[in-house]
Amino acid sequence: MGQLLNLIWDICCLRRGPQDLPYSPPLLAALVAANFAYQLLVATLRGLPFAEVLFGALFFMLMLLTALNVALLLRGLRSRFVQAATALLGCMLLFHVLRLPLDLLVDAPPATPAQLTPLQGLLALIALPLLGWSVVAYAHVLRHSLNISFLAGMTLSLLWIMILIALITVGTPAGT
């Protein structure tokens, strides 16, 4: 477990790549489950509806893994799926854990920027470097997985995050 954590940390720090992870479908399944568990834990701590969070987490995971699979298929690199998905999910889980204290301090995301409290604004500013680091780490994984330039990896990483933000914004009822 410690060795895996060190590998994921090194990938997030751009010292290693997804190719350094073992090809292990059971490890990928464990990381999928761990990401679900994290989402459900945070939802429980925040008092959010379990079914809604579960559906959102399933939808997100399906989209992420499908998009990665399609990108690898288009590049003729389908054999890299398990390691690439393991790296992305491992990095994602690490960033979730690093962001957990900030997530727990924010009661509920505001429906509009005008409803942002001073504490939420401060926490958002504190979270920005972590968001930037995660974008770079995801780009690093995509670069190695898809054999593309770092700039192309950054573009895909940013596009993915913008799509997620749009989906979250559309899925958040106004006034909550």
SS in 3 state form for 41-79?
A: HHHHHHCCCHHHHHHHHHHHHHHHHHHHHHHHHHCCCHH
Q: What residue type is assigned to position 161 of the chain?
A: I
Q: How confident is the model at residue 170 (pLDDT cuts 50, 70, 90)?
A: low
Q: How confident is the model at residue 175 (pLDDT cuts 50, 70, 90)?
A: very low
CB 60 within 8 A of CB 38: no
What residues have CB less than 8 Å from 162, skipping those under 6 apart?
Answer: none
Count Cα neighbours of 127 within 13 Å in the Cβ-side half-sphere: 18
Give tens-digit pLDDT for 21-68: 999 999 999 999 999 899 888 888 777 788 888 888 888 889 899 999
Give tens-digit pLDDT for 120-159: 778 878 888 998 999 999 999 999 999 999 999 999 999 9
Is pTM beyond 0.75 here? yes
